């Protein structure tokens, strides 16, 4: 294992796909493990990456769209129930995260009550520490430096992306959104840039309005590759792809991205490990 790497836990979108879990990524050093977003089946994919939820140092949320947070309750409950000793669960996200987590904990109330009543050695409910982040915030978790950047996913607001740095190297997780100046800044010179992307050439002809609407606020493959070039990143990683690529269309996604970005391009798959170097 490289000393600083990224595991694509879930490369799917709201469209159910048995091979692609919901949006989630793990960024890890030898001693720090950060989960970015908590989409569908994230706990299963963490297990696939050899990470039990209590091993996470923090959970970073890009925005409160359901596909990015729908399995956060599973991360919280599994951490709480399986941790040998109680430990705080740290959740960072945009304003609104505290309300979301509070409502989620209310939802979990009956389960928390059952388990405390049943297990003599489980006496306290999960300890959750939520921190709401503003753009340009900087802080450190373990040996990873975090910088927060505003993204443009309107009308979904507020939304943020993360730049995570360790030992002089950087990965940016842009989350959902269209290109914007603050995303360019966040990405400047990063070794790896992970962007959620959609294919306008495949979505637009479908014609179903609710499907075509997703083009309004997501980067196309071309958008992501232009951002990558403008910001001078090392490797571009495509994730959250709509429609999901199949083994015979991966080359096509790669070729479209290569029209505007000359560096290495990864069309993400669940479980794929990317060295941040
Ligand atoms: Zn979204
Ligand atoms: Zn999404």
Of the candidates 17, 37, 57, 67, the residue annotated as catalytic is: 67
How close is the Cα of 13 to the center of ligand 2, in Å?
A: 6
How close is the Cα of 98 to the center of ligand 1, in Å?
A: 18
User: What is residue 207's predicted lDDT score, i.e. its pLDDT?
Assistant: 85
CATH number at residue 122: 3.60.15.10
pTM: predicted TM-score of the whole model, two decimal places:
0.97
pLDDT digits (tens, 9 = 90+) for 257-277: 999 999 999 999 999 999 998
In the residue annotation, 223 being an active-site residue is answered as no
Q: How confident is the model at residue 58 (pLDDT cuts 50, 70, 90)?
A: very high
Q: Which 8-state DSSP code applies to residue 254? A: H
pLDDT digits (tens, 9 = 90+) for 185-205: 999 999 999 999 999 999 999
How close is the Cα of 153 to the center of ligand 2, in Å?
A: 10
Q: Which ligand is nearest to the CA of 15?
A: 2
For residue 1, is pLDDT > 60? no
User: What is residue 99's predicted lDDT score, i.e. its pLDDT?
Assistant: 98
pLDDT digits (tens, 9 = 90+) for 229-238: 999 999 999 9
How close is the Cα of 235 to the center of ligand 1, in Å?
A: 23
Which residues are 235's β-sheet partners? Answer: 192
Number of separate domains in the chain: 1
For residue 59, is pLDDT > 80? yes
Q: Which ligand is nearest to the CA of 177?
A: 1
Q: Tell me the average pLDDT across 3-30.
A: 97
pLDDT digits (tens, 9 = 90+) for 107-125: 999 999 999 999 999 999 9
User: What is residue 2's predicted lDDT score, i.e. its pLDDT?
Assistant: 59
How close is the Cα of 125 to the center of ligand 1, in Å?
A: 30
CB 228 within 8 A of CB 187: yes
44 CB-near residues (< 8 Å, 6+ apart): 21
CA 163 from centre of chain: 12
* Domain, as residue range, for 180: 4-275
CA 50 from centre of chain: 18
CB 18 within 8 A of CB 46: no
């Amino acid at each position: 294992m490289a000393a600083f790497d990224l595991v694509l836990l879930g490369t799917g979108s709201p469209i159910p796909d048995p091979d692609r879990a919901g949006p989630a990524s793990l960024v890890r050093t030898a001693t720090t493990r950060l989960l970015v977003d908590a989409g569908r089946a994230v706990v299963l994919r963490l297990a696939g990456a050899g990470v039990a939820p209590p091993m996470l140092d923090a959970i970073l949320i890009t925005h409160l769209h359901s596909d990015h947070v729908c399995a956060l309750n599973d991360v919280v409950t599994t951490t709480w129930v399986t941790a040998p000793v109680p430990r705080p669960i740290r959740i960072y996200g945009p304003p609104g995260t505290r309300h979301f987590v509070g409502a989620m904990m209310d939802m979990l109330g009956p389960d928390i009550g059952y388990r405390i009543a049943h297990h003599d050695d489980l006496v306290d409910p999960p300890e959750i520490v939520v921190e709401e982040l503003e753009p340009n915030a900087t802080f450190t978790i373990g040996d990873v430096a975090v910088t927060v950047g505003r993204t443009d996913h309107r009308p979904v607001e507020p939304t943020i992306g993360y730049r995570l740095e360790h030992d002089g190297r950087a990965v940016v997780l842009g989350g959902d959104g269209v290109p914007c100046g603050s995303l360019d800044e966040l990405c400047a010179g990063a070794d790896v840039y992970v962007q959620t992307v959609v294919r306008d050439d495949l979505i637009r002809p479908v014609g179903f309005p609710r499907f075509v609407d997703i083009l309004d606020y997501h980067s196309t493959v071309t958008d992501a590759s232009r951002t990558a070039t403008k910001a001078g990143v090392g490797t571009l990683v495509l994730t959250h792809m709509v429609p999901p690529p199949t083994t015979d269309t991966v080359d096509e996604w790669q070729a479209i991205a290569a029209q505007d970005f000359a560096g290495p391009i990864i069309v993400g798959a669940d479980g794929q490990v990317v060295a941040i170097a």
